[in-house]
Every structure is written in structure tokens, then in C-alpha cells.
Amino acid sequence: MTSPIHATTPGGFLLVLAVILPVCAVLAILACGPRSTVRIAMLTLAAGLAVAVAIAVELVSSGAALSYVVGAWQPPLGIALRADGLSGAMLLMTALVVVAVGLYAHVQYGLREDARNQRAQTTFWLMLLALWSALNAVFIGEDLFNLYVALELLTFAAVPLVCLDGRTETANAALRYLLFALLGSLLYLLGVGLLYGQYGTLDLLALSRLSRSDPALSVALALMIVGLLAKAALFPLHLWLPPAHAGAPAPASAVLSALVIKAPVFLILRLVLDVAPPQAAAVAGQLLAVLGAASILFCSVMALRQARLKLMIAYSTVAQLGYLFIVFPLAAGGTGLPPWETIAWTGGALQLISHALAKAAMFLAAGVIIQVYGHDRIADLGGFGRVLPVSAAAMGLAGLSLMGVPPSGGFVAKCLLLTAAVIEGYPWLAATILAGGLLAGGYVFRVIDRALAVPAGALPSRRAVPRRLELAALVLAVAAVLLGLVPLRPFGILQIGRGGLAMAGLP
């Protein structure tokens, strides 16, 4: 290892900007006081979106991963930031969802002026920006300990968002979430310690060269993956998610469900595909796929049984998350291709992005419905499509993507996964994907049925719900559908920077 593993590339400073810009905004808000909060936040949203787009453009134009070596200290002493194609796609998705949620919250918080709301509003903006920075740090982090810190920052930003309204119920959900997340990150940290003890480096790229089958690596990876599963809320560890995500205010739920749980999933993906040696990855992949399939089936049924709209959407999040975990055995299949060139990989990444867009749209639309109706009991929402046609449309379009009905991003993703399952010889996974789509159809149609139903009594008035509030959800839902119309060629972006890793893996 005479030549350095990482070298700062020309656009590398953009990665630093992606992390540091929201942090600067948080500090500026704290310094300038609540009056200028919204102005600073809106400015940062625009700047952050520009940075994410610039990173994506740089990735596509150079065709190679961006890296930045902080302070020019090489790992293992220093920390490297690196964005490959998948990270770039995640950054762009995060920016898109955060900006849409920010615009929604801007309109919604503009509606009320009472003091209690003022405090919740400032906290919301602070936490949204802190969360954005932490997410970006997770997506471009290359050092496992640095990733631990980023994950913890993510948790610390997400927990206050859960209990923004300060009710006992939501504080309880937040504490449960925090305890699950804390246990998860401690297990992850223990794994990090064992890995460092074994290999003397925490750099993912260096580890992918060094790692070999030995008990310490297996134990470390098992601890880290279980810890991350608790944070990602996969099936047996999902208990904290529905109350936390359903109790949060709508814009917060949208960010939590669409983005926050994707960060640990992204890390599991990197650990299994990059660090784990092939045999260990195969075993881990099988186990994760079983849990993913259980998650799809169990939580889809739970979603069907929910009486409250937001709880239903929250359970649907756990179910949709399951699809991301059945990617592992399909991508590591016997076709001889590296995992990131398989159709399962593309399908998984597409599912991740389309779910983020669709789920954020659903939670925002649900927020508008609650604003007008004052409750979210599905049975009593008859005819809400007449009062809120735009929200009903957003709900329906987002539902298309969740069900996997063409044309939508979710359809392409599930179609690719299904094809991969059939080709690789996993009939039970194929059956699960189909059953999951059917069940998703069940719970989405429950909502659509209410939207189109003849109202039982007088419809509530729209009160002060401006159109702009509904538009944010519609834009996200349309984006989720459009993702399915984009030809698959652009998804070459997902392979950028991956080939280099394959080269690095060679002796």
C-alpha cells in the first residue's frame, strides 16, 4: 500500500459543502434568533439542492467517484469522503425530498402564529437542517467511526422531530425510538472496535481490500448489521417505527419515513457488498432476505388492519423496506456479474428512491387531510377527494408506486426484482414480491375508496389550506411516477465509482 487509497478529486470540495452547509445554517439560526429562521432555512434549502445537483453533474461528467481527503491526512489516521454513483443518487434524492418537505412546512407553519407553534417551528427547521447534514455525512462517509457519529447525529435530529408537539404519547414514542436507536448504534460501535482491532483501519475502501474470512470479521459484521437493522426497523425490530412515524407532525413524518431509515439500509448495503467476503455475504444475504420477506408480508397485513391513516402509511414503510433486503441474495447471485451490475441492484436502488418520493408524498397528503378533517380515521374520511382533489391525487399516484402498478418508479423496481428472483431461482421471493404488491393494493385502495366515496354527512370546509400546501405532495408523487418513465440508461449513474472498487478488490 505505497500509493494512497484516496486522492482528492477536483470536485471533492462539493462533498464537504454538502455536509457543512446545513450545519452552518443551524449555527446561523441559533445565532440570529427565531426571526430570521425561515429565511436562513429557505436559503439553505436552495443552496443544498444546488450542491446535490452539482455533485450529480460532476459524477456524470467525470464518470468517476468524487473523493475528498479531509486535511490531506490519509486513512487510517485521516478521514476520507467519497461519493460514488449510488451515493450521488442518494444525495440528490435527499435534497429533493428535503426541499419539498421544507416548502410544505414553510406554507404550513405560515398558517399559525401562536407562541407555542413558534417554538415548534424553530425546532423543526433546526432539526430538519441537522438531519440533512447527518444524512449527507452517512451517504458520503468512508470511515466507519465517522459513520457512527453521523448515524448518532441523525438519531439526535430525528428524535426531537418525533415529539415536536410535546404530547406524552409522542414523547413516549420518541423515547422508545431513541432506546432502539441507541442499542443499535452501540452494537454497531462494538463491531467497529473489533474491526479496528483486527485490521487497523476503518476506511471502507481499505477494508474491502483487506477483509478475509475470519471469526473476528464475522462477529463484527454480525454486530454491526444487527445494530443497523434496529435503526432501519426491519421486521422483528420494527416495533418502534409505527408510533414514532405516525405521531410526528406531517412534514417530520415524511422526512423520517422517506429518508432517515434509508441511512442504515445504505450502510448495510455497503457492509455486505463491499466489506464482507463472498461466503459471509451470501449467508448474510439469505438471512436478510428472509427477514425482508417476513417484513413485507407481516407489515403489509398490519397496514391493512390499521384504522388510522398515518399508522397505515407507517406500517407500509416497514413493508416497503423489506423489498430493499431481498436485493442481497438476488444481487449476489451466480450470474458471475459483480453485484452492482445485476438488475436486482438497479431494482433495489430504484425501489429505495421511488419509495422515498412516494412515502414523503403520502405523509404530506395525509398532513393536509388531517389539517382539514382534524383526524385521520380512515373510516370517517368519506369523500375527501371532493374537498382535497389534489391531495387525493397525490395519495393515489404515490400509491401506484407502492403497489408497483405501471407506469411508476415502484413498478420498474419491483419488476426488476421479480425478474431477478425468477432468474436466480428464488420462487419464494418472487411469490413474496407478488403478494406484497397485492397487499399494498389492498391498503392503498382503502384510502382511494374513501376519497371517491359519497360523503356520509356534510363535508368539512377547506378552511385555510392553500393550494401550495397540497402541491408539495403532488410534486413528489409525480416524481415517483416519472421515475418509471425514465429509460433505464441514466441508472448507469449507479455504477459510477463501483468499478474502481472491483479493481481494488483484486490482489
Partner 1 sequence: MMMAALQPGALFGLCGAALVGIGLFAVVASPGLLRRIVGCNILGAGIFLVFGAVARRGAGAGFAADPVPQALVITGIVVAFSASALAVALLKRLAEPAEEAAPAEPRGGS
Left, alpha or beta for 10 (phi > 0: left; psi -120 to 50: alpha)? alpha
CA distances from 1 to 192, 298, 500 (A): 22, 48, 16
Cα–Cα dist 291/501, whole Å: 28
CB atoms within 10 A of CB 400: 23
Considering only 6, 82, 262, 310, the residue that binds partner 1 (CB under 8 A) is 310
Is 370 near partner 1 (CB under 8 A)? yes
Residue 496: φ, ψ to 5°: -60, 130
**Counting contacts by CB under 8 A, is residue 249 touching partner 1?**
yes
* CB-CB neighbours of 501 under 10 Å: 19
In a 3-state reduction of DSSP, which class is residue 113? coil
Taking contact as CB under 8 A, which single stretch among the options 179-187, 282-290, 334-342, 489-497 is the one that binds partner 1?
179-187
Closest to partner 1 by CB, 75 or 385: 75
Interaction between residue 441 and partner 1 (CB under 8 A): no
Short-list 396, 410, 404, CA closest to 447: 396
Residue 273 beta carbon to partner 1: minimum distance, rounded to whole angstroms: 23
User: Does 239 engage in binding with partner 1 (CB under 8 A)?
Assistant: no
Counting contacts by CB under 8 A, is residue 374 touching partner 1?
yes
Nearer to partner 1, 244 or 413 (CB): 244
Distance of alpha carbon 312 from alpha carbon 447, whole angstroms: 10
Sole binder of partner 1 in the list 4, 34, 63, 197 (CB under 8 A): 197
Among 168, 334, 457, 461, binds partner 1 (CB under 8 A): 168
Q: Given its phi and psi angles, is residue 63 left (phi above 0), alpha (psi -120 to 50 degrees) or beta?
A: left
Report the nearest approach of partner 1 to the CB of residue 27 (Å).
17
Is 264 among the residues that bind partner 1 (CB under 8 A)?
no
In the shown chain, the binding pattern of residues 47 to 76 toward partner 1, with x for contact by CB under 8 A and - for none, equals -----------------------------x
Within residues 127-146, the interface with partner 1 by CB under 8 A covers: 145
| 78 belongs to the binding site for partner 1 (CB under 8 A) | no
Question: Is 366:313 a contact under the CB 8 Å cutoff?
Answer: yes
* Between 63 and 197, CB nearer to partner 1: 197
Identity of the residue, 96 or 220, whose beta carbon is nearer to partner 1 in the bound complex: 220
DSSP conformation letters of 347-388: HHHHHHHHHHHHHHHHHHHHHHHHHHHS--BGGG-TTHHHH-
Q: Pick the binder of partner 1 from 42, 118, 156, 478 (CB under 8 A).
A: 156
Among 201, 257, 306, 401, binds partner 1 (CB under 8 A): 201
Phi, psi of 316 (to 5 degrees): -65, -30
- Is the distance from CB of 333 to CB of 456 less than 8 angstroms? no
**Count of residues that interact with partner 1, criterion CB under 8 A:** 51
What type of residue is 339?
P
Stretch binding partner 1 (CB under 8 A), from 1-9, 188-196, 256-264, 429-437: 188-196
Quote the least distance from Cβ 340 to partner 1, whole Å: 28
Closer of 112 and 467 to partner 1 (Cβ): 112
Q: How far out from the chain centre does Cα 406 lie?
A: 22
Cβ neighbours for 378, distance < 8 A, ≥ 6 positions apart: 306, 307, 308, 309, 312, 446, 447, 450
Q: Does residue number 175 form part of the binding site for partner 1 (CB under 8 A)? A: yes
Provide the minimum distance between the beta carbon of 372 and partner 1 in the complex, in angstroms, as a whole number. Answer: 9
CA dist., res. 478 & res. 408, Å (int):
9
The yes or no reply on residue 174 touching partner 1 (CB under 8 A) is yes
Q: Considering only CA atoms, give the Rg of the chain.
A: 22
Nearest-angstrom CA–CA distance, 43 and 397: 30
What distance in Å separates the CA atoms of residue 269 and residue 225, rounded to the nearest whole number? 10
Residue 19 to residue 62: CA distance in whole angstroms:
21
Does 155 engage in binding with partner 1 (CB under 8 A)?
yes
* 410 touches partner 1 (CB under 8 A): no
Residue with cell 417554538: 119
Min. distance of Cβ 6 from partner 1 in angstroms? Answer: 17
Q: Which residue among 50, 171, 337, 459 contacts partner 1 (CB under 8 A)? A: 171
Q: How far apart are CB 253 and partner 1 at their closest, in Å?
A: 8
Q: Are 141 and 81 in contact (CB under 8 A)?
A: yes
C-beta closer to partner 1: residue 109 or 323: 109
**Residues in the site for partner 1, rule: CB under 8 A?**
76-77, 112, 117, 145, 148-149, 152, 155-156, 159, 163, 165-168, 171-172, 174-175, 178-179, 182-183, 185-186, 189-190, 192-194, 196-201, 246-247, 249-250, 310, 366-371, 374-376
